[in-house]
Structure 1
Amino acid sequence: MFYQPGITDHGLPHDPFKACVVPRPIGWISTMNKKGQANLAPYSQFNNLSFDPPLVMFSSNQTSQENRKDTVVNAEQTGKFVWNLATWDLREAVNISAEQVPYGVDEFERAGLAKEPGTLTGIPMVRDSPIKFECEYLSTLRIPGNAPMGSVDVVIGRVVGIHIKDEVLVNGLIEVSLTKPIARCGYFQYTVVEKTFDMIIPGMSEDVLYGLEGNSRKNREADARRKDLDV
């Protein structure tokens, strides 16, 4: 089949676009407003952008009333947000926190989640999530789209603090089978990651490999060597 989005009809009972881009990491983002009220919401359009410095982004459509999401408003006003890893064990809480409720309602309380304060930002984090990123807000890219929900805010933040529970580290690596992250698929479907496999590009130089790994220490060592050569 072939169709042109917004021009020709795909002829299917449900739109296939989101089901083509899978699996998508979940940006379970916690924020706080100026009154100190906590907010927690999942975004299925989330990813990292770079590793040195570590940057992340989440993309937020408008509500059906053409309002910007609370998460975006809070991040812009306070300059801070936290990403919490969404896991199989926490899946029901993730789903509850997705409900659209009035501004200022605490989704941690609605979902029965314990909080812990961020070390650097003070933003509440999901205590039982095994991995958390404390982030400083950098910018918002506002992209217009079709009403009422099509317009989107792409929020970019710099990761300034990373929390990893010791029990998910095995031989110095994060063991995915212990964290069991969930990811968004198409329609109302999700998946859970319980196993991984390695593929290393044959014949690649060390600088390419550490870039793929996202090793900031080696990246800075390489930069220092280049500067020494330029002197």
Structure 2
Amino acid sequence: MWINLQQLEPSAAYKLLTSTITPRPIAWVSSLSADGVLNLAPFSFFQMVTDQPPTLMISTQHKADGSRKDTSLNIEATHDFVVNLVPYALANEMNISAAAVPADQSEFELASLEQAASSQIKVPRVALAPVALECRLAKLQPYPPENPSCEVIFAQVLALYINPSLLDANGMPDPQKMDLISRIGGSGYSRVAADIFQLARPASAVRR
């Protein structure tokens, strides 16, 4: 069957889309406000968009009252932020950091998370996150322009941290060891490492 999303309430369309476009990786974003307050929040509207230059995209949906998220305001003000990837071991802490708290309260403290210094920017990473991407704002675009419901943020990845214990024999990240989680519909999550299979890309698509 076909469902016309234009005829649905936004909340109904949201539930359908987030239950079908799955799994979605989680960007656990640490950022600093103009006043130096450290913020941490998860976003599942997130993806890599190109490798030249290394660039990722995050969409920060507006709050229920229409106001912007602290993460969006912080990135617009200070430009630098870190995308931490979330392992299964930190799922509960990630969920705690999603709580609505005043802008002057740090979710690092709320979730009892340790910080670690970044290599090129002032914003710290989550110390126990297996991977952290140091980012600098390239473009922040309210969308849709006439009545924004979010900000689409493009950022260049300046540096990547990975815990060396998570590398395989070839020096590449081992997805089983990273044990990252992703978002599915409703309050559901999945573990990336649960069931991995390999498919080699065909060398040619010539029909015989």
Structures share fold, TM-score greater than 0.5 = yes
Number of the residue aligned with 1:91: 91
Number of the residue aligned with 1:110: 110
How does the TM-score come out when normalised to structure 2? Answer: 0.90
Number of the residue aligned with 1:152: 150
Number of the residue aligned with 1:163: 161
Q: How many residues align?
A: 200
**Offset of residue 8 of structure 1:** 5.6
Number of the residue aligned with 1:217: none
Q: Does the 8 A contact of 1:80 with 1:136 survive in 2?
A: yes
Number of the residue aligned with 1:203: 203
How far, CA to CA, are the matches of 2:108 and 2:8 in structure 1?
A: 42
Q: Does the 8 A contact of 1:30 with 1:39 survive in 2?
A: yes
Decide whether aligned partners of structure 1 residues 34 and 145 sit closer, same or farther in structure 2, where only a CA change above 3 A counts. closer
Number of the residue aligned with 2:137: 137
Q: Does the 8 A contact of 2:15 with 2:185 survive in 1?
A: no
How far, CA to CA, are the matches of 1:8 and 1:140 in structure 2?
A: 28
Identity across aligned pairs (percent)?
Answer: 30
Partner SS for 2:64? coil
Number of the residue aligned with 2:173: 174
Partner SS for 2:185? coil
Runs of 4+ in 1 over 3 A off after TM superposition: none
**Offset of residue 146 of structure 1:** 10
- The one-letter amino acid of 1:178's match is K
Q: Does the 8 A contact of 1:59 with 1:154 survive in 2?
A: yes
Deviations 1:9-52 (A, max 9, x none): 8xx9x942211100001011000112211000000100101112
Q: Does the 8 A contact of 1:82 with 1:123 survive in 2?
A: yes
**Offset of residue 2 of structure 1:** 2.2
How far, CA to CA, are the matches of 2:47 and 2:8 in structure 1?
A: 30
Number of the residue aligned with 2:3: 3
How far, CA to CA, are the matches of 2:19 and 2:72 in structure 1?
A: 25
**Offset of residue 129 of structure 1:** 0.4
The alignment yields a C-alpha RMSD, in angstroms, of 2.1
How does the TM-score come out when normalised to structure 1? Answer: 0.81
How far, CA to CA, are the matches of 1:8 and 1:151 in structure 2?
A: 16
Query: Is the counterpart of residue 120 in structure 1 residue 127 in structure 2?
Result: no
Q: Does the 8 A contact of 1:145 with 1:151 survive in 2?
A: no
Partner SS for 2:5? coil
Number of the residue aligned with 1:214: none
Decide whether aligned partners of structure 1 residues 163 and 79 sit closer, same or farther in structure 2, where only a CA change above 3 A counts. same
**Offset of residue 167 of structure 1:** 0.4
Q: Does the 8 A contact of 1:133 with 1:162 survive in 2?
A: yes
Q: Does the 8 A contact of 2:29 with 2:81 survive in 1?
A: yes
Number of the residue aligned with 1:226: none
Q: Does the 8 A contact of 1:30 with 1:123 survive in 2?
A: yes
How far, CA to CA, are the matches of 2:4 and 2:146 in structure 1?
A: 16
Query: Is the counterpart of residue 187 in structure 1 residue 186 in structure 2?
Result: yes
Number of the residue aligned with 1:225: none
Specify every segment of 5 or more residues in structure 1 that has no aligned partner in the other structure, as ranges.
Answer: 206-231
**Offset of residue 196 of structure 1:** 2.2
Q: Does the 8 A contact of 2:25 with 2:182 survive in 1?
A: yes
Matches within 5 A, 1:11-90: 15-90=15-90
Partner SS for 2:31? strand
Decide whether aligned partners of structure 1 residues 115 and 203 sit closer, same or farther in structure 2, where only a CA change above 3 A counts. same
Partner SS for 2:109? helix
Partner SS for 1:2? coil
How far, CA to CA, are the matches of 1:91 and 1:146 in structure 2?
A: 36
